[in-house]
Amino acid sequence: MAHPVILSIDDDPAVSRAVARDFRRRYGDRYRVVRAGSGPEALDTLREIKLRGEQVAVLVADYRMPEMNGIEFLEAAMDLFPAARRVLLTAYADTGAAIDAINLVDLDHYLLKPWHPPEEKLYPVVDALLEAWTASPEAATTEIRVVGHRWSAPSFAVRDFLARNLVPYRWLLADEPEGGRLLAAAGVSAADVPLVVTADGKALVAPSETELAGLVGLNVVPASDFYDLVVVGGGPAGLGAAVYGASEGLRTVLVERRATGGQAGQSSRIENYLGFPDGVSGAQLTDRARRQALKFGAELLSTREVVGLAEAGSARLLRFDDGSTIAAHAVVLATGVSYRMLDAPGLAELTGRGVFYGSAATEAPSCVDQDVYIVGGANSAGQAAVYFSRYAARVHVLIRGADLTASMSSYLIDQLDRIDRITVHPHTEVVAGAGEEHLQRLTLRDTRTGERRDVDASWLFVFIGAEPRTEWLEGVVVRDERGYVVTGPDLVAGGSRPPGWSLPRDPYHLESSLPGVFAAGDVRAASVKRVASAVGEGAMAVSLVHRYLEAQ
């Protein structure tokens, strides 16, 4: 971590060098001594220091400077580093101004020039100021900072992206002092949020996910244009395929549109996954799988959306949304599924501003002592209810059916029954939402009687089934009526091979209607929608890839 800064400002180069020399002689082993030749130059320096998350201990400014005198500088500097100790250098004739500055800028001390010998006239003063500052220093920052508004959908999107990619960050509100200081340091207004500032001081305003990925060190550009295996999708099935593919010597790249982990990665706790008797969070499982894939040499490509797949001789060609392509001997489709949107008036406009799809765990601390509404009756909804019950005053689970037994694991139903803060509302659906800057009210309907009622609500989390989002595979591989990829024996169920099938054998178990393209996990038709089975299918797909490659 960088040493705290002592900043001196004087327009006289000789004096400036002398001040810096004396400071370095006594404090150079503990503090970084920086000097500037004018107030505006010093403010630019302070903005850079602020963006890098470093500390400023003492500011020493000459009173008589052109453009901006020392008092004006110290007053402006207070907005960036209010805890820094402030010293004014003055001539004897300016002592009146220095005394006035004690009230104007909360001046800690003024020093008469010249101050020699420094052991008597400079160091005792600065020693006392540093001792006082050290007793309550500003915290240095070594993580990414995000400045935004509480009910801003773009701000939520940035935070959710960082959280799902396991990137630590610090969240600051734009209307709070520290958030305002960062905005000032970056030269942007509160209307421009979200602002993202890295630990080394680089600032981005409202970055795209690709810009954000590059900013935090995620890989967004493939290292090659040809691989043995391309895995599309970074959920449990995709991560399983990447781990087994890379560990078995295949040059493997995993392409993920948003964040590894998929829906499982958003789960607060998975308790029925083999080998974790006390449960494991989706984030923990994702982190371990990512590190395992990287350990074996798999390449992980983030924020890249695949929009096309084509046969190119013996290779399979994948096209990204920016028009670029990569090719491989074989492909594993592991794109999983996405939550369906809740079709009710008023909700689309409030998405990211009180209405969320998936658990959005980053929002849980903000739900303290408030009511949370969860729509859905599957395991993901149950896990979210348990998690939010640690924070919320009450969690309301809304389901259209009579009970949870048809869609939720019994262990989760038992957990929900044991938590007093959770209430399950059967035969209930959301038919409307309303609010100004954020969600404020929901309209609920009893599916048996049609009776409606309004409830005050700021938090709605939706888990209402899923869709495979495989439109980009139209005409390339066979899909069922819901869009899931049909594989293996199901392709020859009628006794004939799929149209266009070019090989003398039948498709392998997880192979699609395009030879060398396999499907694993939730995107595959008739798959078991569980984390363990998805990981197993990812591993099985790699064994079938080997069989396919050996036969080529």
Q: What is the pLDDT of residues 486-506, one digit of tens each?
A: 999 999 987 889 988 989 999
pLDDT at residue 274 above 90? no
How far apart are the two ends of the chain, measured CA to CA in Å?
55
Stretch 316-324: mean pLDDT: 97
Query: pLDDT value at position 360?
Result: 77
Band of pLDDT at residue 465, cut at 50, 70 and 90 = confident
Mean pLDDT of 507-531: 95
Which residue intervals of 78-171 are DSSP H helices? Answer: 95-104, 118-121, 123-135, 153-164
Longest dimension (CA), the chain: 103
> Are the C-beta atoms of residues 22 and 118 closer than 8 Å to each other?
yes
Domains of the chain with CATH codes: 5-135 (3.40.50.2300), 144-215 (3.40.30.10), 226-337+468-550 (3.50.50.60), 348-466 (3.50.50.60)
Where are any strands of DSSP class E within 495-538?
517-519
Q: What are the DSSP calls for 210-275, one per residue?
A: HHHHHHTT---S-S-SEEEEEEE--SHHHHHHHHHHHHTT--EEEE-SS-TTHHHHT-S-B-SSTT
pLDDT score, position 7: 96
Who's near 25: CB < 8 A, 6+ residues apart? 118
Highest mean pLDDT among 65-79, 165-179, 314-328: 314-328
Question: What's the confidence (pLDDT) of residue 427?
Answer: 97
Out of 15-24, 103-112, 154-163, 535-544, the most confident range is 535-544
Quick one: pLDDT at residue 254?
98
Confidence class of residue 103 from pLDDT cuts 50, 70 and 90? low
Strand bridging mode 517-519 / 355-357: unpaired
Does the pLDDT at position 139 exceed 60?
A: no
Report which of residues 267 and 83 the model is more confident about.
83
Average pLDDT (408-423) is: 95
Q: What percent of the chain has pLDDT over 90?
A: 68
Q: What is the pLDDT of residue 118?
A: 87
Q: Quick check: 176 pLDDT over 60?
A: yes
Section 271-284 average pLDDT: 84
The answer to whether the peptide bond before residue 194 is cis (omega within 30 degrees of 0) is: yes
Q: Is the pLDDT of residue 104 over 70?
A: no
Listing DSSP states for 35-65 in one string gives EESSHHHHHHHHHHHHHTT--EEEEEEESS-
> Please, which pLDDT band fits residue 2 given cuts at 50, 70 and 90?
confident
pLDDT digits (tens, 9 = 90+) for 356-378: 998 777 788 889 999 999 999 99
Q: Which residues pair with 60 in a beta bridge?
A: 8, 87
**pTM (two decimals):** 0.78
Q: Which pLDDT value is given to residue 308? A: 97
Per-residue model confidence (pLDDT) at position 140: 60
Does the pLDDT at position 174 exceed 90?
A: yes
pLDDT category of residue 338 using cuts at 50, 70 and 90: confident
> Where is mean pLDDT largest: 209-213, 271-275, 359-363?
209-213
Determine which of 348-362, 389-403, 530-544 has the lowest per-residue pLDDT on average. 348-362
Report the length, in residues, of the chain: 552
Burial status of residue 511 (CB atoms within 10 A of its CB: 0-12, 13-18, 19 or more): buried
Find out whether 206 and 155 touch, Cβ atoms under 8 Å: no
Average predicted confidence (pLDDT) for the chain: 91
Spatial distance between the Cα atoms of 88 and 170, rounded to a whole number of angstroms: 34
Q: 511 or 50, which is more confident?
A: 511
How sure is the predictor about 138, in pLDDT bands with cuts at 50, 70 and 90?
low
Report CA dihedral (254, 256, 259, 260) to the nearest 10 degrees.
-30
Q: Are 22 and 3 in contact, with CB atoms under 8 Å apart?
A: no
